């Protein structure tokens, strides 16, 4: 279960770790500069990662059984 909490590191690395590498205006993705698209992408991915963590956490399954 402790390995599950390492998923929280992924958004941090994705948003802040790779930001210097993607810091450019060109190309435009969905009519947004690439750096803005990157931040929006990781915001959505963070929500998905946290939802997966919630579903896989055994402590939350105990509440559903009661």
**Which 3-state string (H, E, C) describes the chain?**
CHHHHHHHHHHHHHHHHCHHHHCCCCCEECCEEHHHHHHHHHHHHHHHHHHHHHHHCHHHHHHHHC
Whole-number pLDDT of residue 1: 57
Whole-number pLDDT of residue 65: 57
Whole-number pLDDT of residue 20: 83
How do the pLDDT tens digits run along the chain, 66 residues long?
Answer: 577 778 888 888 888 888 888 877 788 888 888 888 889 999 999 999 989 888 887 777 765 555
Whole-number pLDDT of residue 66: 56
Instruction: Delimit the domains of the chain by residue range.
Output: 2-58
């Amino acid at each position: 279960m402790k390995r599950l909490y390492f998923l929280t590191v992924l958004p941090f690395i994705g948003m802040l770790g790779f930001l210097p590498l993607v810091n450019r205006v060109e190309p435009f993705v969905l009519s947004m500069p690439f750096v803005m698209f990157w931040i929006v992408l990781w915001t959505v991915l963070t929500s998905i990662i946290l939802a997966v963590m919630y579903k896989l956490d055994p402590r939350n399954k105990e509440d559903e059984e009661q």
